Amino acid sequence: MVATSATSSFFPLPSSPLYPTAKTNKVTTSTNFSGLSPTPNSARMKVKPNAQAPPKINGKRVGLPGSVKPDNETSSQHPAAPRTFINQLPDWSMLLAAITTVFLAAEKQWMMLDWKPRRSDVIMYPFGLGRIVQDGLVFRQNFSIRSYEIGADRSASIETVMNHLQETALNHVKTAGLLGDGFGSTPEMVKKNLIWVVTRMQVVVDKYPTWGDVVEVDTWVSKSGKNGMRRDWLVRDGNTGQILTRASSVWVMMNKLTRRLSKIPEEVRGEIEPYFVDSDPVLAEDSRMLTKLDDKTADYVRSGLTPRWSDLDVNQHVNNVKYIGWILESAPVGMMESQKLKSMTLEYRRECGRDSVLQSLTAVSGCDIGNLGTAGEVECQHLLRLQDGAEVVRGRTEWSSKTPTTTWDITP
């Protein structure tokens, strides 16, 4: 019974007509029943021609609606098509159209997927948050050099390079699952109102990327003394693998309420030590003393430098990269036009806030100030201080001649 019902949904079976099509014999005379008195002709029971017995459904008689014509009359006016196997098949057009639509949509999605096997030399996750590599201890992130990140010499600025370093450091903490509510602070650091502050930064730039280049930045952390952490960076060309920049830094903890340095609590140490890499610094430490400048020893002074609101980070102090820009504010323009910054050493001594007013001092050594445009190697001493004389950053930079670049004539 179930099989019959399922089959009939696709292949309709001929059903018994409610009205038989066989014609009955016509009755031409009236019939008188015995034992009944004759009645007038108007009262006699008449039998209609083509009369049919009421059909039965499930053994019960069913009345016929008077308005429905018998099948024999309908079939005589519109002859039914002969029943064949073909015209009893269901209409598959709608089902085939739906199946075709599904397959086309699936094929389009499949073609959009990158199903091809990746090669080891292909850059993965080109501009995402990066990923953990090398046994979960090194963080790697790629950056594309934008048009607003290059300077007049068509290469990336030192501030662009430093921003990439800072970004990878924060994303490293985030990807490792150690980011609390603070700016690079772990959950235990947040509980104890502790933040990281950089005390020393050393950077060596072998080559600056240009507009459109893709750089690959690796960073990792190591132990530094009893209460410090060292973070190193290695920047490569994303296409050739050539090393572009090496950087190393030392960080300590500070209480963000008292603004005083703090030891690393054991709870925090337990969070960060599993990520320490036992390796030498990517740069040998430059142990030369950084000179303290004053108004007499400085060759160039730039005063009245003030932070903007956009220069502050979430810890309400000036972003570390901004200090580099202020230091270079007092560097001679002639030197910056003809020389490129190849190395930098900074010592952060004090933080400054949004209401601070600063001075930038620079002293040039190793060449005559009047011949900076033709000098081969130039070394500069720097000092960034508050208006009251308190030191913020001491620094030293080394410069070398720029490689001549091709110029384009855009005159129509």
Which candidate in 317, 319, 380, 382 is catalytic? 317
- Annotated active-site residue 172? The verdict is no
Catalytic pick from 172, 352, 380, 382?
352
CB burial of 299-323 (b: ≥16 within 10 Å; e: otherwise) equals bbebeebebeeebeeebebbbbbbb
Residue 317 falls in the annotated catalytic set? yes
Instruction: Kindly give the residue spans of alpha helices, DSSP state H, lying in 78-145.
Output: 93-112
DSSP string for 207-232: ---BTT-EEEEEEEEEEETTTEEEEE
Mark whether 78 is an active-site residue.
no
Question: How many other C-beta atoms lie within 10 A of the C-beta of residue 193?
Answer: 14
In 3D, which of 20, 30, 106, 96 has the Cα closest to residue 56? 20
Query: Which residue in the list 72, 193, 315, 367 is annotated as catalytic?
Result: 315
Distances (CA, A) of 16 to 11, 21, 58, 253: 16, 11, 12, 94
Cβ–Cβ under 8 Å, residues 279 and 229? no
- Asked if 282 contacts 247 with a C-beta cutoff of 8 angstroms, the reply is yes
Place of tokens 């030191």: 391
Q: Residue 307 corresponds to which tokens in the numbers above?
A: 């932070």
Contact 151, 196 (CB under 8 A): no
Active site residue ranges: 315, 317, 352
